[in-house]
Amino acid sequence: MLFENRKEAGQFLAKKLAAYANRPDVLVLALPRGGVPVAFEVAKALNAPLDVFVVRKLGVPEQKELAMGAIASGGVRVLNEQIVRSLGISQAEINQVAQKEQQELERRERLYRGDRPVPKLNGRTVILVDDGLATGATMRAAVEALQRHRPAKIIIAVPVCASETCKEFVGKVDEVVCAAIPNPFYSVGLWYVDFPQTTDEEVRDLIQQAANNHETTAISI
């Protein structure tokens, strides 16, 4: 399956999640930045609030696109031990990358959320959304961080996912919704016609628009 863009992917994914529509316990959390346009469409279709859950990939030194792990809000760090061992990456190198990414994580949280408080996660049904999963490093960090908040249910929802990564999360969360599992996979961007980098401004605008939309809908109900 080839998606025209993240908007279309989100609309398609939302249909797979229709059972969660109009439920007061549901919260949609997007992994910025690329997950936000997808999650916006999901939240709108489900009539659910939308927020961000900031996670940063830890790229291998000199090979930044290759993930050796990830960090998430709450001081969570997840490492791909196989990559770390095979490439001989030292603890000092890991700490150096993690420190830099921690600064970016904190910057994004301030920028995207502004004065809005962190949403209550305890006891809620949380749908974690990204624009796709390749290695799953960022999603693993997000799940581990989210579990510390004791939600009632965690659902991973993505438009496209590598087969092995999709299988990996089965049993680790309550539900995994992968709209398309192409084989061979190669990369997330390959399954979109239009796949530009999502900007900070787009993220802020969509989060604010979602907040306004949900507030209006809640009042009308």
Q: Which whole number is the average pLDDT over 127-147? A: 92
Q: Is residue 188 part of a domain?
A: yes
Whether residue 94 is contained in a domain is answered as: no
pLDDT in the model for residue 220: 32
Report the pLDDT value the prediction gives residue 64, as an integer from 0 to 100: 83
Residue 164 falls inside a structural domain: yes
Looking up residue 47, the CATH number of its domain turns out to be 3.40.50.2020
Per the prediction, the chain carries an average pLDDT of 92
* Confidence check: pLDDT of 52 > 70: yes
Task: Tell me the pLDDT tens digit for each residue of 196-216.
Answer: 999 999 999 999 999 888 765
In the predicted structure, residue 217 carries a pLDDT above the cut 80: no
CA–CA dist 180, 177 (Å, integer): 9
Q: Are 156 and 177 in contact (CB under 8 A)?
A: yes
Residue 219 has pLDDT above 60, yes or no: no
pTM above 0.85, yes or no: yes
With vertex at residue 42, the alpha carbon angle to CA 117 and CA 120, rounded to the nearest 5 degrees, is 25
Task: Let me know: does 102 contact 77? Beta carbons within 8 Å.
Answer: no
Residue 14 scores a pLDDT above 60: yes
Quote the distance between the C-alpha of residue 216 and its chain's center. 25
Please give the pLDDT value at position 215. 66
* Main-chain dihedrals φ then ψ at residue 102, nearest 5 degrees: -65, -40
- Range of 46's domain? 6-55+121-220
Element (H, E) at 172: none
Number of domains in the chain: 1
Q: Is residue 216 part of a domain?
A: yes
Greater model confidence, 218 or 167: 167
Residue 106 lies in a domain: no
**150 pLDDT above the threshold of 70:** yes
Q: Is the pLDDT of residue 218 over 50?
A: no
Q: Is residue 201 part of a domain?
A: yes
Whether the pLDDT of residue 142 is over 50: the answer is: yes
Judged against a pLDDT cut of 70, whether residue 135 lies above it is answered with yes
